Chains A and B, each alone.
Chain A
């Protein structure tokens, strides 16, 4: 039932991006899982959440040794993020995310383009705080 090779390949690809770019990798993993493994969106998100934990741990070891991790800031951001995510996931059924997603998608494209072009000041992508 489970095809090992494509799953491992997806893991290898997202893990590398995660370590290289400092993101969880869910953004890549979820669409790849639905595309190549036929896993439905909600289950793919649940799986990706779980995979992100050991992946980040493996990546962070190198960065920890190079003293690149600001643990205090990470803890503060995480406290806020956990509360925020819990709140929004309980309200997400009342708000349609579709339009919001398009608006933020445009913001993200804009800030990504600025990063590629190497402008000095990067505009913040959101002002929700």
Chain B
């Protein structure tokens, strides 16, 4: 029960932050799952993707209601991204946790610099 509340509360905090900052939840969730909840890097990343699906679904509905979605561009983008996402996750399962963590760290630094500069 305690761990259930803790997870909902963590999701809530990250949801508030990502709404405020315009940064997706995965950037915050993966380090939190590893650092606070003791997930391995692989499970944290996989669980992050599973969490993103319903979250993005609700956000898309909100965006669609405001009329700011271009379906044609979205479909062409998705055609490319679905193909390479399957490839990327296959590569991910073959990488050792330490390497994956470093790659994730590089992504964080780039995202962080963008947040500071922009």
Contact = CB atoms under 8 A, between A and B. Distances in A.
Interface in B34-55: 34-37, 39, 42-55
A64 B46 CA distance: 8
Contacts of A23: 24, 26-27, 30, 48, 52, 107
B88 A18 contact: yes
Most buried by B among A15, A54, A57, A111: A15
Interface size class of A (residues with CB under 8 A): 35 or more
Contacts of A18: 49, 81, 85, 88
Interface string B62-90: 11101011111110111111111111111
B109 A84 contact: no
Nearest to A20: B88
Nearest to A112: B108
Interface size class of B (residues with CB under 8 A): 35 or more
Contact of B68 (A42, A109, A115): A42
A94 B8 CA distance: 25
A8 B50 CA distance: 24
A68 B46 CA distance: 6
Contact of A118 (B16, B46, B102): B102
Nearest to B81: A15
Nearest to B45: A22
Contact of A15 (B12, B37, B48, B80): B80
Given A62-B89, A111-B108, A124-B32, A100 B47 contact: no
Interface string A56-74: 1111111110101111011
Given A53-B57, A80-B12, A15 B85 contact: yes
Interface of A: 2, 4, 7-27, 29, 31, 33, 37, 39, 42-43, 45-47, 49-64, 66, 68-71, 73-89, 92, 95, 97, 100-102, 104-118, 121-129
